[in-house]
Amino acid sequence: MTKKKIVLAYSGGLDTSVMLKWLQEQYKSDVVSLTLDVGQEENMKKIEEKAWSLGVVNAYTMDVKKEFAQEYVYPAIKANALYMDSYPISSSLSRPLIAKKMVEVAEMEDAYAVAHGCTGKGNDQIRFDVTIKALSPKTKIIAPVREWKFDRHGEIVYAKEHGIPVPVTVDSPYSVDQNLWGRSIEGGVLEYPDKMVPKEVWEWTKEIKDTPDEPEFITIGFEKGVPVSIDAVEMDPVSILQKLNEKGGKHGIGRIEHMEDRTVGLKSRETYECPAAEIILTAHKDLEKMVLTIHQMLTKREIDHKWTVLAYQGLWVDPLMQDLDAFINSTQEKVTGWVTMKLHKGTAKPVKRNSEFSLYDYNLTSFDINTKYDQGDALGFIALWGLPSVTAWNLKHVMQESELEKQEQKVITPSKTKKANSNL
Ligand code: ARG
């Protein structure tokens, strides 16, 4: 008799390997592994082989880099997504895609459950669970770490007992999550915010002292809010992200370290390397400043923020997301053009830009020429523009003066009172 099946999101690491065996035992089920390539630069073939060796009944390996870049990263670029002004939500963006693929494979395999390796203390469990619940309400969700009682040592003992290879690097105290949009490092000494991030944590980005002394200039072409070329050479989204990660990393760009508010109510110190994200988001914002009106800019800032928080908090499926996308996409119609970025010693700065939709007009703005902008108009404009503020200011001062006069009168009053008293 064939057993019931569970689809496990399998990374090849110790946790999900232990999980694979544990699910077979505890749930008396067959396990199907699913490993997705979102640009984490790992040997997918080796991971699949490991899954087979641990006794899966089927193993799926899918390259979803293109879908991830196009359907998840690109919307985040349009929304200038930086959670708490710092984090480009790289891990957050991959979760709804992984969840979607888990559900797809569960359907293909006729599995009753899906399983993931998230802990009960993080955001990732929310992103997975909410998406899975929406896409497939009938599918059971198993998160072994929320159920089992293993600590690190227990896990290693279990692994050894079950013939699961324990990597020599098991000593690394860090939990790492990587994709095309960035690298997240958590755990170990990083959990002490009053201690510096040790050098060994950084892998994608160079120390400033090891970066080139000469700046590098690169020009990013945008079309409707998303990058389409580097130095006038058209490239697909995946290659653009890979290339900018590499170039940015070389210049030490994209190291992020901040205090973060998790959705589950915890504060944590988070560490990321996101070179491509830093370069692209900075360039994108710069181009928006050239083509959007101030009113679009100010409203978009609020909508962008709302979008980012929803994505971070795992509500990718909420209809509000589509509503906000509609606004954002409408603004991006004009975000076409190019921005040249200067990469140097850990920084990525825009140094020139242009767009066919530019609202900047040399003939209007320049100090050098007489234009149809009549400087005399400024006088009347300022009079009306400042009217409410000037009126309020003046009123306040009139009131203050009369208050002062009253005080002065009071100083005179006591002698009068004395007199009055002596008359009693
Ligand atoms: N704090 C980040 C987030 O919630 C990163 C989580 C990534 N997970 C990891 N195992 N490092 O998006």
What residue spans define the domains of the chain? 5-173, 182-364, 365-405
Is residue 91 in contact with ligand 1, taking CB distance under 6 Å? Answer: yes
Centre of ligand 1 from the C-alpha of residue 332, in Å: 29
With a CB cutoff of 8 Å and minimum separation 6, the contacts of 323 are: none
State the catalytic residues.
Answer: 15, 95, 124, 175
- Ligand 1, residue 91: give the atom nearest the CA: 12
Q: How is residue 323 written in tokens?
A: 């509503």
How far apart are the C-alpha atoms of 31 and 307, rounded to whole Å?
A: 36
The predicted model gives 86-94 an average pLDDT of 98
Q: Is the pLDDT of residue 416 over 70?
A: no
- Ligand 1, residue 83: give the atom nearest the CA: 12
Centre of ligand 1 from the C-alpha of residue 177, in Å: 7
Is residue 186 in contact with ligand 1, taking CB distance under 6 Å? Answer: yes
CA distances, 23 to each of 14, 18, 412 (Å): 14, 9, 90
How far apart are the C-alpha atoms of 105 and 244, rounded to whole Å?
A: 32
pLDDT band at 424, cuts 50/70/90?
Answer: very low
Tell me, rounded to whole angstroms, the distance of Cα 297 from its chain centroid: 20
CATH of domain 182-364: 3.90.1260.10
Assess contact for 109 and 56: CB atoms under 8 A.
Answer: no
The predicted model gives 268-277 an average pLDDT of 98
How far apart are the C-alpha atoms of 406 and 354, rounded to whole Å?
A: 61
Is residue 296 in contact with ligand 1, taking CB distance under 6 Å? Answer: no
The predicted model gives 229-253 an average pLDDT of 98
What's the confidence (pLDDT) of residue 414?
59
In testing the pocket of ligand 1, which one of 40, 91, 130 has its CB within 8 Å of the most ligand atoms?
Answer: 91
Residues 112, 118, 119, 123, CA torsion sign: negative
CB atoms within 10 A of CB 134: 16
**Averaged confidence pLDDT in the chain:** 94
How far apart are the C-alpha atoms of 343 and 352, rounded to whole Å?
A: 13
pLDDT band at 291, cuts 50/70/90?
Answer: very high
- Ligand 1, residue 185: give the atom nearest the CA: 11
Is residue 175 in contact with ligand 1, taking CB distance under 6 Å? Answer: yes
What's the confidence (pLDDT) of residue 173?
86
Is residue 24 in contact with ligand 1, taking CB distance under 6 Å? Answer: no
Q: Is the pLDDT of residue 210 over 80?
A: yes
Instruction: Tell me the CATH class for 5-173.
Output: alpha beta
Centre of ligand 1 from the C-alpha of residue 9, in Å: 16
Maximal CA-CA distance, the chain: 115
With a CB cutoff of 8 Å and minimum separation 6, the contacts of 245 are: 180, 204, 254, 275, 276
% of residues, the chain, pLDDT over 90: 85
- Ligand 1, residue 268: give the atom nearest the CA: 1
Q: Is the pLDDT of residue 418 over 70?
A: no
- Enumerate the β-bridge partners of residue 269: 259
Give 186-196 pLDDT, tens digit per residue.
999 999 999 99
Alpha carbon nearest to ligand 1 atom 1, residue: 270
Q: Is the pLDDT of residue 420 over 80?
A: no
Q: Which region among 14-23, 164-173, 258-267, 407-416 has the lowest average model confidence (pLDDT)?
A: 407-416
Assess contact for 121 and 148: CB atoms under 8 A.
Answer: no
Assess contact for 184 and 204: CB atoms under 8 A.
Answer: no
The DSSP secondary-structure symbol of 86 reads T
- Ligand 1, residue 260: give the atom nearest the CA: 1
What's the confidence (pLDDT) of residue 401?
87
Centre of ligand 1 from the C-alpha of residue 91, in Å: 6
The angle formed by the CA atoms of residues 29, 35 and 38, to the nearest 5 degrees, is 155
Q: Which region among 98-102, 402-406, 410-414 has the lowest average model confidence (pLDDT)?
A: 410-414
Give 114-131 pLDDT, tens digit per residue.
999 999 999 999 999 999
Q: Is 104 exposed, middle or buried (0-12, 13-18, 19+ CB in 10 A)?
A: middle
Q: In this structure, what are the phi and psi dihedrals at residue 316, rounded to the nearest 5 degrees? A: -55, -30
CA distances, 187 to each of 27, 67, 206, 270, 379 (Å): 30, 30, 21, 9, 60
How far apart are the C-alpha atoms of 255 and 271, rounded to whole Å?
A: 8
Is residue 270 in contact with ligand 1, taking CB distance under 6 Å? Answer: yes
Centre of ligand 1 from the C-alpha of residue 270, in Å: 8
How far apart are the C-alpha atoms of 139 and 8, rounded to whole Å?
A: 13
Q: Is the pLDDT of residue 421 over 70?
A: no
Centre of ligand 1 from the C-alpha of residue 253, in Å: 20
Is residue 15 in contact with ligand 1, taking CB distance under 6 Å? Answer: no
pLDDT band at 86, cuts 50/70/90?
Answer: very high
Q: Is the pLDDT of residue 137 over 70?
A: yes
Could you tell me which residue, 96 or 370, shows the higher pLDDT?
A: 96
- Ligand 1, residue 89: give the atom nearest the CA: 12
Centre of ligand 1 from the C-alpha of residue 4, in Å: 31
In testing the pocket of ligand 1, which one of 123, 126, 176, 263 has its CB within 8 Å of the most ligand atoms?
Answer: 123
With a CB cutoff of 8 Å and minimum separation 6, the contacts of 230 are: 218, 219, 220, 221, 240, 243, 244
Give 356-401 pLDDT, tens digit per residue.
999 999 888 888 777 788 889 999 999 999 999 999 999 988 888 8
